[in-house]
Structure 1
Amino acid sequence: MTSPSSKLNEKISRLSEEIITEKELEGRLKSGQKLRIKYGVDVTSPFLHLGHAVNLWLMRAFQEEGHKIVFLVGDFTTRIGDPTGRNEKRPKISEADIKRGAKEFIKQVSRILLTDKKVFEIRKNSEWYSKMKTEKLLELMSLVTNAQLIKRDMFQKRIKEGKDIFENELIYPILQGYDSIMLESDLTVIGSDQLFNEMMGRDLQQKFGQSPQVIITTKITPGIRGGEKQSKSLGNYIGLLDSAREKFGKIMSIPDDLIIQYFEVYSDTALVRIREIERGLQGKKINPKDAKMELAEAVVLKYHSADESKDAKNFFVETFQKKNLPQDATTVIVKKGEMIKDVLARSGLVSSKSEASRLIKAGAVEIDGAIVKDIGAKFERGGIMRAGKKRFVKIKIV
């Protein structure tokens, strides 16, 4: 009989919101059984931020105990589209885009997960769905009632708003649940928005004679501006592939009331130290800026080298505290009258014109310290342009 290490226990306690069920998890870990941990992804948007990384770090802790992550590429179900969080039907995704998305997902998760074959396995659900006969599908669907499916919150919302629910969306939870059967999943680590689908997996596993998978839902924190959780569309995220400087700058920009939450969920700082910082902030003995500086260093060190972390800190101090322009700021040649949002995209400060528009609307673009408020604004003179908290270019008008 073996028990999980104190490190794994601490990760579970620190990062989990709910465990279904704790008794089942405890029993499986104490038995010495090596668990198969389902990690399924819809590869339409291969973009990961620190919110996603919470699940990955918890799974990494299980890997270090010898448990295996089964990385399931939902190449078949991606064509249907998970309706989670959506009020409208998603457009069809091409097979080429699915392949590209899967490749990028694997590249990003490998920054955290171990990829040794002993603890990492890659599967695709097209392995079984592309061969499934209509008879088998109907048999599977007969195990679930319409009442079970239609009670899902996003479907109820669509019904109230008079919007359509397409049949392929309605059966998505059944297909995701059946994935757990095919993978013989013992455990899955998810965000709470996937709980409905994975509970379907537990139900179906029992009907197929398998032990139901344990479900761990992880803690979700607000984005870097507070309020809603991290999202690429909202621009309130810290990307897994962000540079050390970008991560540092974004951490320094968070509201003071998120400091402790971010320490607990996104850093490996000892809980004893976090409680010290919490008391210091409450008693006004620690300046929030100093706490954020320590937090930013801790988060950056989790993803980057000590040299990169030191560089990120120095860059922030020189640029934002001492107000010195970065020496490596690029010079961009601009024609007078050229639109600012176009130059933001062309210079590489942002990935697209739509992102440029979002940043301008959020008041996150400045020229020589003056906030750009109009998305249709044009360049009339040169200067220093800043996008977000840490991206700069020198503008030269020709």
Structure 2
Amino acid sequence: MTTTEIRPNLPVDEQLAILRRGVVDLVTEDDLRRKLERGQPLRIKLGADPTRPDLHLGHAVILRKMRQFQDLGHKVIMLIGDFTAMIGDPSGKSKTRPPLTLEETRANAQSYLEQCRLILRDEPELLELRFNSEWLEPLGYADVIRLASRYTVARILERDDFTKRLSAGTPISLHELLYPLTQGYDSVALHADVELGGTDQLFNNLVGRALQRDYGQEPQVVMTLPLLVGLDGTEKMSKSLDNYIGLTDEPDVMFAGLMKVPDPLLENYFTLLTDLPPERIQELLAGHPVAAHRELARQVVAWLHPQADLAAAEERFRAVAKGGIPENVPTVTVAREELGESGRVSMARLVVLAGLEPSNGAARKLIGNRGLKLNGKPYTEPQGTLSQDELTEEGGVVIQKGKDRFVRLILGT
């Protein structure tokens, strides 16, 4: 990441202007102003249940806000909810989510933390890593009862997802009611000044604010950011919905993905993922959509891949968009043992060897649905084969899945 100068003495109004950008809920701005006016580093909390090890640009929205706090001289606390993940956050869920083991959450957390460091500053005075099992695991039964006594069932059931499930007659397990309390207790344990989260975390974060007050602490400021809409333009960015751009995607893949952002979402992406001033964003939106997409792609790729060759990434996108084959294509060597007695190998098997599908059946389905190209031309024979001669021709063969996944196949010597 590009090193940004730390500016702890920036005037409070300027700090607030930076920190308000893209924020949906701020409870309250007056509280945040008072905390900033003291001129002391604040403790900024972000809790994450590492239920999946991979991050995407949707996660980058909040990580970017954390980085802004760091650049203003404040310490951010990346709290890994290894203990609360065993409960399962019910936010937005229509049914109980299967809990994870402590070992599963900690394994996912290692990958999670490595990816977070792509955005966050790693200096000890600006980043603190914690696991909430530190204080939640030692709690005894009596401690849990005392904690539960500090919040009413009526207030817990005010959460939209609980209300909807009650109305629909969908079961709510008792352990789910404890989740907001345990997350709120994290803020007490950490003495958090500010807690960040997505808009779906507003209720949980406000519980933390209330518990801090009950424990005699100054209540944390709650700041939520919008959930980034995925490339399909209909739902939030998600790996499971396959509408995402991965945080660790290669520059050319990330560039191509950003060029696919639906036009109505451009302003949102510019605001949440770049530092461009509002007037420049409006200027871009008023111009040609392709130029706006290109600037968005260049801004985000340069942010996450500061050493990337942007011109090469853009050229690759243009080549693919025109139906061509880019120059830098990953190569997979096919072992001669894959050839049958006839000296041929099935295309479905080659698709699997290339890592484009997990099984021959999935590969044949891909081919039957016209989702594969061979050397730039549609390939539509699910039972088709390639010969030894085709694989040993200069440069081998290039197979393509979808619009921008290419693999060059050559026969081993």
Instruction: Give the number of the structure whose alpha-carbon radius of gyration is greater.
Output: 2
Instruction: Pick closer, same or farther for the CA change 1:307–1:105 going to 2, 3 Å.
Output: closer
Matched, 1:302 2:303: yes
1:240 Cα deviation after fit: 0.6
1:395 Cα deviation after fit: 6.1
1:379 Cα deviation after fit: 4.7
Q: 1:163 aligns with which of 159, 164, 170?
A: 170
**Are the counterparts in 2 of residues 195 and 217 from structure 1 also a CA contact under 8 Å?**
yes
CA distance in 1, matches of 2:323, 2:147: 64
1:108 Cα deviation after fit: 0.8
Deviates more, 1:184-193 or 1:73-82: 73-82
Matched, 1:387 2:387: no
| Residue identity (%) | 36
Instruction: Count matched residues.
Output: 383
Instruction: Pick closer, same or farther for the CA change 1:3–1:270 going to 2, 3 Å.
Output: closer
Deviation string 1:96-138 (CA, Å, 9 cap, x unpaired) is 2222111111101111111211011112211111211211110
Deviation string 1:68-105 (CA, Å, 9 cap, x unpaired) is 11121111111111112222222232232222111111
**Are the counterparts in 2 of residues 39 and 71 from structure 1 also a CA contact under 8 Å?**
yes
1:163 Cα deviation after fit: 2.5
Instruction: Pick closer, same or farther for the CA change 1:154–1:252 going to 2, 3 Å.
Output: same
Instruction: Pick closer, same or farther for the CA change 1:118–1:317 going to 2, 3 Å.
Output: same
CA distance in 2, matches of 1:28, 1:259: 34
1:142 Cα deviation after fit: 0.9
Deviation string 1:273-332 (CA, Å, 9 cap, x unpaired) is 21211222xxxxx2x222211211111001113543232112112232362343424357
1:14 Cα deviation after fit: 2.2
**Are the counterparts in 2 of residues 181 and 205 from structure 1 also a CA contact under 8 Å?**
yes
TM-score, structure 2 as length reference: 0.83
Deviates more, 1:205-214 or 1:149-158: 149-158
1:381 Cα deviation after fit: 4.6
**Are the counterparts in 1 of residues 270 and 276 from structure 2 also a CA contact under 8 Å?**
yes
CA distance in 2, matches of 1:294, 1:321: 20
Letter in 1 for 2:318: V
Deviation string 1:34-53 (CA, Å, 9 cap, x unpaired) is 11111111012122111111
User: Which residue of the partner structure matches residue 372 of structure 2?
Assistant: 366
User: Which residue of the partner structure matches residue 291 of structure 1?
Assistant: 292
User: Which residue of the partner structure matches residue 316 of structure 2?
Assistant: 315
1:344 Cα deviation after fit: 5.3
Deviates more, 1:306-315 or 1:59-68: 306-315
Q: How does 1:15-164 map to 2 (within 5 A)?
A: 15-164=22-171
CA distance in 2, matches of 1:157, 1:394: 51
CA distance in 2, matches of 1:265, 1:298: 12
Instruction: Pick closer, same or farther for the CA change 1:143–1:315 going to 2, 3 Å.
Output: same
**Are the counterparts in 2 of residues 337 and 379 from structure 1 also a CA contact under 8 Å?**
no
Letter in 2 for 1:250: G
Instruction: Pick closer, same or farther for the CA change 1:117–1:129 going to 2, 3 Å.
Output: same
Letter in 2 for 1:131: P
Letter in 2 for 1:198: N
Letter in 2 for 1:301: A
CA distance in 2, matches of 1:154, 1:364: 41
Instruction: Pick closer, same or farther for the CA change 1:4–1:219 going to 2, 3 Å.
Output: farther
Q: Structure 2, unaligned stretches of length 5 or more?
A: 1-7, 387-396
CA distance in 1, matches of 2:304, 2:351: 27
CA distance in 1, matches of 2:122, 2:9: 24
In angstroms, what is the RMSD of aligned CA positions? 3.0
Instruction: Pick closer, same or farther for the CA change 1:87–1:332 going to 2, 3 Å.
Output: farther
| SS at 2:231 equivalent | coil
1:257 Cα deviation after fit: 2.0
